Structure formats: C-alpha cells, structure tokens
Amino acid sequence: MALFSEKTAEKELNEQSNKVHQADLKTLLDRQKAIEEKVRDSGRLNRFSTDIKLMFSLIRDYWYGHYRAIPWKSIAAVAGALLYVLNPLDLIPDLIFGFGLVDDAGVVALCLKLVESDLHRYAAWKELHSS
C-alpha cells in the first residue's frame, strides 16, 4: 500500500478547496514568503518551487482583478493546495522526518495536474502583459 495515494491527495485537495473563500486569497498572499521558504527547504516540495511561484502570481493577479479568465474552481484548487502546504498538522504532520511532506507534495502535484491548462493560459497571458 502506498504511503499517500492519488486518491488520498484528491480527497485532501477537494476538502481544502471546498473551504476556500475570497478572503483566503489575501491570507495566502500574506503568507507567501513562509510557504516559499518551506518549499525551498524541502527536498520533496522543492521541485515544485517554480510552479508554486506561478501559483502565487496567479492568486495575486486574480485577487487584484488583473486576471479573471479562470474558473473559481481552479483558483480554489490552487489556493487549497497552497493552504494545505501551509498547514503543518495536515494528514501526515510535517514534523515526521522523511515522510511529513509526502502528502504536501502529492496534493501540489495533483493540483498542478488538474489546473495545468489554466496555468498555461495564465502564464501566456502573464508573458504578454509583462512587457
């Protein structure tokens, strides 16, 4: 049996994203540095650092109304995944050495899989509007 399956990741992501409200986006933006430090300091999450920066950029542009060409469901999934990473006492507590971030990585990976096309469209939009 796998330590953390895709089915479990889906359950956790769904639970977290179903609880996301507009105000949670501001909370995430305020905690961005803490989440990025946690990701940078983790072997399992570090491989997602570029994606997580893009996810934060998306949340920021959505929050400020610069980019709204995305369904709320995708925003909620991204926010839910980031909030999951922020929580040290999630399904597998982060304090468990060697295993504590397996679930965080699984939730982020699943989120990226689910919102991949939305993130690609956003990245293309961002590229066009950053000049």
Return all residues near 130 (Cβ < 8 A) that are at least 6 apart.
none
Segment 73-91 shows an average pLDDT of: 88
Distance (Å, whole) CA 58 – CA 60: 5
Which among 41-45, 64-68, 92-96, 102-106 has the top mean pLDDT?
64-68
Please check the confidence at residue 39 and state whether its pLDDT lies above 90: no
Q: Which of 10-14, 18-22, 101-105 has the lowest mean pLDDT?
A: 101-105
pTM value?
A: 0.90
Distance (Å, whole) CA 131 – CA 127: 7
SS3 string, 60-109, reads: HHHHCCCCCCCCHHHHHHHHHHHHHHHCCCCCCCCCCCCCCCHHHHHHHH
pLDDT for res 1 = 36
